[in-house]
Chains A and B, each alone.
Chain A
Amino acid sequence: MALGFFMAGLHLNDIDKQFGSVTAVRNVELTLPHGRFVCFLGPSGCGKTTLLRLIAGLERPTRGRILLEEHDITDQPAHRRNFGMVFQSLALFPHLSVGDNVAYSLRIRKADPAARRRRVDELLELVRLPGYAERHVSQLSGGQRQRVAIARALAIEPRLFLLDEPLSALDAKLREDMQLELRLLQQRLGVTTILVTHDQREAMTMSDLIVVMGTDNRVHQMGTPLEIYRNPADTFVADFIGTSNLLKGVGRGVRQVEVAGRTLTVETVPGGLSRGGEVTLSVRPEDISVVPGPREGENTLQGKVTFVRDVGSSVEIYLDCGGVQIVSQSTPKSRPAVRQGDVATALLPPAACVVLTS
């Protein structure tokens, strides 16, 4: 595996988690390298939060072991793991001031009061809330509470920093700011971080590695954001990450696929394609270019423009190519001169046509 040279961080060994008859997490086998920012990405109900809670020690796996730097921590209770966690509800202690919330773990550990105050000031500085120690939690805005929760979790100098959809309650603008801020904070501290999210844009923005989980409660793919975007492992991942054209076709050669009566040359497939076998191609809209009028040539599909969506920063063109729907996306500068109802040709470069295993 390409990531083998990283220091072994967290290893999840064949984890299953059942709640009664419901399986929340199925056969999870993961190795998360040390010091990285990892996102668990998936739709709601895919078990990503349960997986995070298993790592935190708030749930016990039904089967499998959890190892941190080669030590088995499966039976270790949450309060001995020293993993900082930020909850979706933030779970700030309502009866304590901002400073006391941040200092909670230090008080539990009976840290000396002067050192405690210094550390609280340092942490509040870090999350850009200096001088807020005396405030009460109810006096803060959503974004400020967020920062307090982060500071509180970082106060224990966590071995792992776990975040359960912490940004979902914020409005869009603040959320984008916090994503950047969190990412920069993580890079500065170098702490291994796992963030659970259902927002693929958030995952792409922040993470070194993305773990994609599906509604079948399994891990579908793990890789860098670009790897996952460029080479989705299956139809689920291709569909969930960004928008994708999923084209059904039939294998016609080692690198040839027939789609809507035309033969397309595709990205090399390990072992080649079987003749006559059904395959699904994933082509990202921004990799498809559209030219006006009918045009013959390799890797082209001709069709009729059904809709043009111009949102200013990009132009999307919808084509109907003999029953196959294709979306292309281009920048306003390279906007093709086509209008609704025109005949046009879509160019699908071989490198952009990824064959999916389904």
Chain B
Amino acid sequence: MIEDKPGSAGARLIILYPAATLVIFFVVPFGIMLAVSFFQREPGGFYTTEFSIENYLNLFTALFGRVLAFSVFISAFCAAVCVAAGFPFTYLVTRMRRRAQVVWLVILVSVLSLSAVIVAFAWSLLLSQTAGVSNLLVWLGLMEKPVSWSPGFWALTCGMCYIAFPYTVLVLYPPLSRLDPHLPEAAQTLGAGPLVTFFTVVVGSMRSAIVATLIMVFAFTLGTYLIPQILGRPQHWTLSVLIIDEAIYRSNLPFAAAMSVFFMVVSLALVGLTMLIGRQKGPVT
């Protein structure tokens, strides 16, 4: 292995840049949040710097548990839906000619330019009783009368997946386009039909990419707070909504911080668990 000369000033400076970025933008804000989570709220004011673990004790309520469970569930569910739909989609895109691939990727990236507000209102309109797609189904004779599908669980799922889908594809695209096209062909010559080939060879050899994408989409959708308020009923509100509510509308920053820290610990634990499972099933080296 080639080793950098120890003490070389240039090498140190290069490492300094990402280190500084990390510290300024992530470590310091997180430290502040962590500190605030141990402070106490001052009614009518901001907070006092008295140390207390009361905020964390207050977390253990039925409401918090239910919202936390739902947040984790909806994010995991959306991650699963996005990868289940996005993986075959991306695979098919990578098998296209170069120019067709570019067109598909440009369409996906343009979806990214839409803000969550626009996406949420567009879906709520599409799924509404007055102007939604159910009117189209009535017109086609498939339904008796138009119905309202929004707000609701499936409306929320649609909105969250719509936002997360382009990221899913963009994360899956590089490993899938590097897949040796001879791998599926080899499976075919060994007697595997197209579907068997897809599941045993394409999915099989992409397992680590799939696990990484699941984690990415899961973490990404955990943070959505706008879409649940527009497309979900109050029972579909995620922990992010609760945190925003606590921090901004009730000005209880210490409690919001405690919720955030706890939420982060839970999600990190889940991500770690997923990685562990993914590794155990991976190749033994």
Binding site for B on A (CB under 8 A): 56-58, 77-85, 87-89, 91, 93-97, 104-105, 108-109, 136, 138-139, 152-153, 155-156, 162
Q: Judge whether B204 is part of the interface by a CB distance below 8 angstroms.
A: yes
The residue of chain B having its C-beta at the shortest distance from the C-beta of A85 within the complex is B189
**Interface 1/0s, chain B 173-200, versus A by CB < 8 A?**
0000000101101111111110011001
Q: Which residues of B contact A58 (CB under 8 A)?
A: 185, 188-189
- Sample 24 A-B pairs with CB under 8 A, ordered by A number: A77-B193, A78-B185, A78-B189, A79-B187, A79-B191, A79-B192, A79-B197, A81-B189, A85-B185, A88-B182, A89-B182, A94-B205, A94-B283, A95-B204, A95-B282, A95-B283, A97-B283, A104-B187, A108-B191, A136-B284, A152-B186, A152-B190, A153-B189, A153-B190
State whether B191 touches A87 (Cβ < 8 A): no
Q: Judge whether B105 is part of the interface by a CB distance below 8 angstroms.
A: no
A108: which of B185, B192, B204, B283 is its contact (CB, 8 Å)? B192
CA distance A152 to B191 in the complex (A): 12
Given contacts A79-B188, A156-B191, contact A96 B204 (CB under 8 A): yes
Given A77-B193, A85-B189, 14 further pairs, Cβ under 8 A: A58-B188, A58-B189, A78-B188, A79-B193, A79-B197, A82-B191, A85-B185, A89-B180, A94-B205, A94-B283, A96-B204, A97-B284, A104-B192, A152-B186
Q: Which residues of B contact A79 (CB under 8 A)?
A: 187-193, 197
Q: Which residues of A contact B200 (CB under 8 A)?
A: 104, 108
The residue of chain B having its C-beta at the shortest distance from the C-beta of A158 within the complex is B189
Q: Judge whether B207 is part of the interface by a CB distance below 8 angstroms.
A: yes
Q: Which residues of A contact B207 (CB under 8 A)?
A: 95
Q: Judge whether B280 is part of the interface by a CB distance below 8 angstroms.
A: no
Output the least CB separation between B196 and chain A (Å).
6
CA distance A105 to B201 in the complex (A): 12
The residue of chain A having its C-beta at the shortest distance from the C-beta of B206 within the complex is A95
CA distance A156 to B182 in the complex (A): 18
Q: Which residues of A contact B115 (CB under 8 A)?
A: none
Output the least CB separation between A185 and chain B (Å).
18
Q: Judge whether B285 is part of the interface by a CB distance below 8 angstroms.
A: yes
Most chain A CB atoms below 10 A, which of B188, B196, B207, B285: B188
State whether B205 touches A108 (Cβ < 8 A): no
State whether B191 touches A95 (Cβ < 8 A): no
Q: Which residues of B contact A88 (CB under 8 A)?
A: 182
State whether B185 touches A87 (Cβ < 8 A): yes
The residue of chain B having its C-beta at the shortest distance from the C-beta of A134 within the complex is B284
Q: Which residues of B contact A56 (CB under 8 A)?
A: 189
Output the least CB separation between A148 and chain B (Å).
12
CA distance A155 to B191 in the complex (A): 11
Q: Which residues of B contact A109 (CB under 8 A)?
A: 191
CA distance A88 to B205 in the complex (A): 19
State whether B183 touches A93 (Cβ < 8 A): yes
Output the least CB separation between A271 and chain B (Å).
46
Q: Which residues of B contact A82 (CB under 8 A)?
A: 191
CA distance A124 to B285 in the complex (A): 20
Given contacts A89-B180, A95-B205, A108-B196, contact A136 B283 (CB under 8 A): yes
State whether A91 touches B182 (Cβ < 8 A): yes
Q: Which residues of B contact A81 (CB under 8 A)?
A: 189
State whether A104 touches B182 (Cβ < 8 A): no
Output the least CB separation between A60 and chain B (Å).
13
The residue of chain B having its C-beta at the shortest distance from the C-beta of A94 within the complex is B205
Question: B residues 254-281 with Cβ under 8 Å of A?
Answer: none
CA distance A83 to B190 in the complex (A): 8
Most chain A CB atoms below 10 A, which of B191, B192, B196: B191
CA distance A58 to B183 in the complex (A): 12
State whether A138 touches B285 (Cβ < 8 A): yes
State whether B192 touches A93 (Cβ < 8 A): no
Q: Which residues of B contact A57 (CB under 8 A)?
A: 188-189
Output the least CB separation between A155 and chain B (Å).
8
Q: Which residues of B contact A84 (CB under 8 A)?
A: 189-190
State whether B180 touches A91 (Cβ < 8 A): yes
Output the least CB separation between A244 and chain B (Å).
36
The residue of chain B having its C-beta at the shortest distance from the C-beta of A152 within the complex is B190
Output the least CB separation between A87 and chain B (Å).
4
Given contacts A89-B180, A93-B205, contact A139 B285 (CB under 8 A): yes
State whether A105 touches B285 (Cβ < 8 A): no
State whether B190 touches A108 (Cβ < 8 A): yes
B183: which of A91, A97, A105, A138 is its contact (CB, 8 Å)? A91
The residue of chain A having its C-beta at the shortest distance from the C-beta of B197 within the complex is A79
CA distance A93 to B28 in the complex (A): 45
